[in-house]
Amino acid sequence: MTQIIHRSCPTCEASCGLTMEVDRERGEVLSVKGDPDDVRSQGYVCAKSQAFHHIYRDPERLRRPVKRVGGDWEEVSWDEALDAVAARLAAVRDEYGKDAIAMYYGNPNGHNFHTQIYTQLFIGMLDTERFFSAGSVDQQPKNLSSELLYGNAWLFPVPDLSRTDFFVCMGGNPMVSQGSLLGAPDVGREFAALRERGGHMVVIDPRRTETAAVADQHLFIRPGTDALLLMAWVHELFARQAVNIGALADRVEGLAALEELARPFTPEAVAPRTGVPAAALRALVDGFAGAQRPVLYGRIGLCTQAFGTLASWLVDVVNLLQGRLDEEGGAMFARPATGQNESRGEPQPLQHGRWKSRARGFPEYMSMLPASCMAEEMECTGADAVRALITVAGNPVLSVPNGKRIDAAMDNVEFKVALDIYINETTRHADYILPSTTQLEHSNYDFLFAAFAQRNFARYSPQVFAPEPGAKHQHEIFVELLARMNGMSASDLDAMMLDGLVDSVLPALEGVGKEQVLAASAHHEGGERLLDILLRVGPYGDRFAAGGEGLNLDKVKAQPHGVDLGPLQPGVLPQMLNTQDGCIRLLHPLLEADIARLAAALDEPAPVLVLIGRRHIRDMNSWLHNLKNYARGADRCTLYMHPDDAAGRGIADGDVAEISSAVGRLAVPVEYHDGMMPGVVSLPHGFGHRYPGTRQSTASGQLPGVSANDLVDDDALDLPSGTSVVNGVAVEVHAQP
């Protein structure tokens, strides 16, 4: 029998609403379409909306644990696999210490509510100093900037696209990525509406991107120089006496020191490095100042570069200095129903530098070491050796700089386990692979991305198909491993989670006791019970008042198209700030030290040719390539080159050329692209499905491509945050003989 189910797409941050026609008995998805009644996306979907049910169906996806036997794989029972893995991990920990276990955490974890809520438990109990994640090839500079400015590493200002009249986009390509840290289904519609109401849109990017194509103006910038451009913008604001903070003025500290630090960065001084003429920058500053509701937005191109933290921080500073932070049409703060953006009362000290990596002594940030340090840590020997590696929904061999070195270093590690659903470039090394259920087999809640969405909303997604008997959800795998490693029962650990959560919310619930919280949420199970509690304590919650107003999970579940909680509100930041004494301190020694490094960079010679990345609408990092409907079409793993750069090197359109960097060398087809800034070439990441022993025959057969990360130098880091520099990599390109 066919049934209609509404849920959100778990593939990217937009989290579009879907209408799925399914036959539950036969486990078949008959169609997936945009849900016209979804409170946010109103029917919009992109080409990847079909991805997750094809993943569910993919015959090469793992459904049961596998164990490596020589060069082959053998299916084993869950009990056998969990017992064996837990025993080995516990033995390593007991003999060599907790830091002999390394762990890498990948991006899909962020799209699964249950995994997210159990993550703290898993990471906390493993407690390894060798913890790496995709975050340090992504948003970690923004985390650091937010932690320094607002006291909450996950409190990100989002550009209020529906009300701005002047939108400046740097280092993001939302027309393809569908928006990141700005949560908007159908951003194309937002941009069209902006222009229809007479607004103006500027894109600053080393490539004339798909987003630049729908903007009023595009400015080329040399990769990695955004912090220089933005410091010059700040310089201009002080020089023009145009700093006007507005409502937050009383809370901002450090203006005089910032003015002093910005002094050397005049538009003329930075122009030779940025490639943006001083007059063009001044015109941009004029345009922004002359608009009613301007806003500046920066994304991954600003994070994963040499001055990622400074550039990310300066985006907020530029908005703040012009009164555009926490204001309508400016950079605003979402208020997710699960409460993670609310002030937590007690300011926490900055989590930075509490320990260092063994090999290069790089400081930890947010309990993590840079993913770019992973290979060298696995190369350590003796007392510092990594003896076991856990990867959780991640593919660092393709997604992390110098992936070939990671691939080789994995051979040094005696025991490896992957919590993953495919045998791919990374997991092929594992001794055991423990595959979780996939998205259709569990419920979901749009948790992380509601914290930086364009509108406040709450959205529950029901489970579509019952998992195969015995199959495990990711968080169950976490719990079962921890239980076995620590001689506890899984139910003890679940009880610990519930207890910890209830204790943490009680102080915010005057007059409500623990018993009441437990009784009122008792009809929900597992992670859903935790979700119910978070919703009820959150800013729209019913606060456990029976029959009262306010949200709880039952009410959210009753709204299959999502609950609209209204547009973002101005003036919410003071209640969200978590800094000492409630002030926004503009500067911090980490930033000041990096501004000195930035000043020194003004005089350094620039490489002749540099590499940047790009994304394609049908890709999602490295992991959708095994789906036939996304593997079709022309090769998209090509090197975009400006025709002059290519012709000058004797390379014709379509030729296979050799590209080399400090760490690697690849042969790749060149595609002429007059939208490239001269001196800049572009290659997408997530390809390179060429390793033996994987089980993704469509990926390796139909679009293997090459891995951009075989060219990216793992030595190069944004120093304050430890984020990989994947944009602005010095390369050479030669015609092949």
Ligand X SMILES: Nc1nc2c(c(=O)[nH]1)N[C@H]1C(S)=C(S)[C@@H](COP(=O)(O)OP(=O)(O)OC[C@H]3O[C@@H](n4cnc5c(=O)[nH]c(N)nc54)[C@H](O)[C@@H]3O)O[C@H]1N2
Judged by the rule CB under 6 A, the positions of this chain that interact with ligand SF4 are: 9, 11-12, 14-16, 45-46, 48-49, 178, 185
Q: Does 436 bind ligand X (CB under 6 A)?
A: yes
Question: For residues 138 and 542, which CB has a smaller minimum distance to Mo ion in the complex?
Answer: 138
Using CA atoms, how far apart are residues 105 and 89, in angstroms rounded to an integer? 17
From candidates 49, 128, 146, 177, binder to ligand X by CB under 6 A: 177
Buried b (16+ CB within 10 A) or exposed e, 495-505: eebbeebbeeb
174 in contact with ligand X (CB under 6 A) = yes
Q: Which stretch binds ligand X (CB under 6 A): 167-175, 361-369, 483-491, 658-666?
A: 167-175
Q: What is the per-residue binding string for ligand X in 263-302, x denoting contact by CB under 6 A?
A: ------------------------------------xxxx
- Reading the block at residue 269, the tokens are 């001084």
3 state DSSP class of 690: coil
Site for ligand X in 698-717 (CB under 6 A): 708-709, 712
Residues 470-509: x/- map of binding to ligand X (CB under 6 A)?
----x-----------------------------------
Instruction: Report the partner that residue 183 touches, choosing among ligand SF4, Mo ion, ligand X, none (CB closer than 5 to 8 A by kind).
Output: none
Out of 17, 172, 294, 688, point to the residue binding ligand X (CB under 6 A): 172
Residue nearest to ligand X (CB): 301
Which of 167, 422, 640, 691 is in the footprint of ligand X by CB under 6 A?
Answer: 422
Q: Residue 686: which of ligand SF4, ligand X, Mo ion, none does it interact with, CB under 5 to 8 A by kind? A: ligand X
Structure tokens at 600: 């020194």
Q: Any contact of residue 728 with ligand X (CB under 6 A)?
A: yes
Question: What is the C-alpha separation between 640 and 623, in angstroms, rounded?
Answer: 22
Q: Which is nearer to Mo ion, 138 or 528 (CB)?
A: 138
User: Judging by DSSP bridges, how do beta strands 460-461 and 444-445 pair with one another?
Assistant: antiparallel
Smallest gap from Cβ 398 to ligand X, in A, equals: 6
Question: Which is nearer to ligand X, 52 or 150 (by Cβ)?
Answer: 52
Phi, psi torsion values for 249, nearest 5 degrees: -50, -40
Q: Are 735 and 651 in contact (CB under 8 A)?
A: yes
The span from the CA of 114 to the CA of 103, in Å, is 19
Which span sits near ligand X by CB under 6 A: 288-296, 419-427, 480-488, 645-653?
419-427
Q: Does 50 bind ligand X (CB under 6 A)?
A: no
Q: Please provide residue 180's backbone torsions phi and psi, each rounded to the nearest 5 degrees.
A: -135, 135
Question: Which of the choices ligand X, Mo ion, ligand SF4, none does residue 129 contact, using the CB cut-off of 5 to 8 A by kind?
Answer: none
User: Residue 547 pairs with which residues in a beta bridge?
Assistant: none
Per the structure block, which two tokens stand in for 567? 């547009």
Nearer to ligand SF4, 99 or 186 (CB): 186
Q: Does 207 bind ligand X (CB under 6 A)?
A: yes
Q: Quick check: 564 and 39 in contact, CB under 8 A? A: yes
What tokens appear for 172 in the block?
């993001």
700 binds, among ligand X, Mo ion, ligand SF4, none (CB under 5 to 8 A by kind): none
User: Is position 138 an interface residue for Mo ion (rule: CB under 5 A)?
Assistant: yes
Strands 388-392 and 363-365: unpaired
When the beta carbons of 171 and 330 are compared against ligand X, the nearer one is 171
Torsion sign over Cα 509, 513, 519, 522:
positive
Q: How many residues bind ligand X (CB under 6 A)?
A: 62
152 binds, among ligand SF4, Mo ion, ligand X, none (CB under 5 to 8 A by kind): none
Q: Binding of Mo ion at residue 13 (CB under 5 A)?
A: no
How far from 231 is each of 16, 45, 207, 208, 603, CA to CA, in Å? Answer: 36, 38, 22, 23, 16
Q: Please, which residue, 147 or 476, has the CB nearer to ligand X?
A: 476
Supply the minimum distance, in Å, between the C-beta of residue 444 and ligand SF4: 12
Judged by CB under 5 A, does residue 714 bind Mo ion?
A: no
Structure tokens at 260: 């002093």
CB of 181 to ligand SF4, least distance (A): 14
How far is residue 100's CA from residue 64's CA, in Å, rounded to a whole number? 27
Q: How far apart are CA 460 and CA 113, in angstroms?
A: 10
Options 34, 157, 171, 705; binder of ligand X; rule CB under 6 A: 171
* Helices then strands, each counted (H, E), the chain: 25, 33
Interface of this chain with ligand X, residues 117 to 156, rule: CB under 6 A: 134, 137-138
Rounded Cα gap, residues 103 and 722, in angstroms:
17
Q: How far apart (Å, rounded) are the C-alpha atoms in residues 505 and 484? A: 29
| Interatomic CA distance for residues 497 and 271, integer angstroms | 54
Q: Quick count: other Cβ atoms within 10 Å of Cβ 163?
A: 21
Binding mask 660-689 for ligand X (x = CB under 6 A): -------------------------xx---
Site for ligand X in 216-255 (CB under 6 A): 221, 223-224, 226
Provide the 3-class DSSP secondary structure of residue 545.
coil
The CA distance from 371 to 134, in Å, is 7
Q: For residues 691 and 465, what is the distance between their CA atoms, to the nearest angstrom? A: 33
| Joined tokens for residue 628 | 């036939």
Q: Which residues bind ligand X (CB under 6 A)?
A: 12, 106-108, 134, 137-138, 170-174, 176-178, 180, 204-207, 209, 221, 223-224, 226, 299-302, 305, 393-396, 399, 419-422, 424, 436, 438, 474, 612-617, 619-623, 685-686, 708-709, 712, 726-728
Q: Which residues bind Mo ion (CB under 5 A)?
A: 138
